Structure 1
Amino acid sequence: MQNQRAIKWAFWGLLVICLLQALYIFISSPFRPDPSKVVSATNVSGGGAVYELLYDTGGATVADTYRYFLMEVQPSDEAVLEKSKKMEPFLVTKSGNAVREVSGDKVKLKTNNTIYKFHGVSIFKLNGEIQIVRFELDATVP
């Protein structure tokens, strides 16, 4: 009987340790990797820009992804990379060079690969005023 009791205590103790370790790994790992570099910047009306950022930190088994952010024009690539960590992209895809045409507050996009996320409208703030930009996406699968 005493061996059964010791086994139960050991089981529950090891289970708690495993759960705490899993929680630590989950909390300490980043939810989204840091961007590698700014691929392109396309100005839009109202002092904003669409920034295309490359994320290539997935290793050999994960394809590169491109995230597209709308924000006010930034002074440097480092500022874009830093600000993008606090923002949500309006487009996440495997395709680069998605921005095709800008006319006023409308941006036409074209991709020919997997799309992970897309929002048709995005906003940015410039001098306290909210600027709205609409996106039209033309997507084809190879």
Structure 2
Amino acid sequence: MPLKTVIKWFHYSLTAVLLIVVIGFVMLNADGDELAGTRLVSTQQLSDSTWLYVTEYSGGGATVANSYRYYLSGKLEGNVSASLAKQVPFLVAAGSAANVSADGDTINIKYSGRVFSFSNSVVYEGNGEAQMPHLRFEVSN
């Protein structure tokens, strides 16, 4: 068998094996369920149009700490977890013990612990109107 033919068949075989490996990797790492590992921990009404929802995410495995996601929204009906999956949390932290209260259009947040992310721009619909509260965040040690 000529050397060119051997190299050509080796190339085809190697390409097929690599393609199978890549397809297998993508299939194993595809997230089919974004809600897996997430559960609703608490719901709190802050004002007539503002509700606080806290979820716990424990899908990181044994070596990743649980994280708590804090959402501001209007009152959610039906499948709350599915509705929250479409929103972005304003706070992601290591604990669920944030003290959150409303004073007019200002939301006061006091938290003691590790903060993974915080965003002070939150827009949601409450009572049929777009709400954009001012967030006042305090971290205490």
Give me the TM-score of the superposition, normalised by structure 1: 0.79
Structure 1 residue 20 corresponds to structure 2 residue 27: no
Give me the TM-score of the superposition, normalised by structure 2: 0.79
**1:71-107 deviation digits (Å, cap 9, x = unpaired):** 11235xx632221122111111112121343211212
2:10 maps to: 7
Q: CA offset at residue 39 of structure 1?
A: 2.3
2:114 maps to: 114
- Larger relative strand fraction: 1
Q: Structure 1's 124 and 46: CA in aligned 2 closer, same or farther, altered over 3 A? A: farther
Q: CA offset at residue 54 of structure 1?
A: 1.3
**1:49-84 deviation digits (Å, cap 9, x = unpaired):** 011111123332211110011111235xx6322211
Aligned residue pairs total: 138
| Runs of 5+ unmatched residues, structure 1 | none
After TM superposition, the runs of 4+ consecutive aligned structure 1 residues lying more than 6 A away are none
**In the alignment, residue 111 of structure 1 is paired with which amino acid?**
Y
1:49 maps to: 51
**1:1-57 deviation digits (Å, cap 9, x = unpaired):** 13322211111111222222233334x315844464332223233422011111123
Aligned mates of 2:138, 2:79 — CA distance in 1: 30
Trace 1:1-142 onto structure 2 (pairs within 5 A). Answer: 1=3, 2-26=5-29, 28-30=30-32, 32-34=34-36, 36-75=38-77, 79-140=79-140
SS of the aligned residue for 2:61 comes to coil
Q: Structure 1's 35 and 13: CA in aligned 2 closer, same or farther, altered over 3 A? A: closer
Percent of matched pairs sharing the same residue:
23
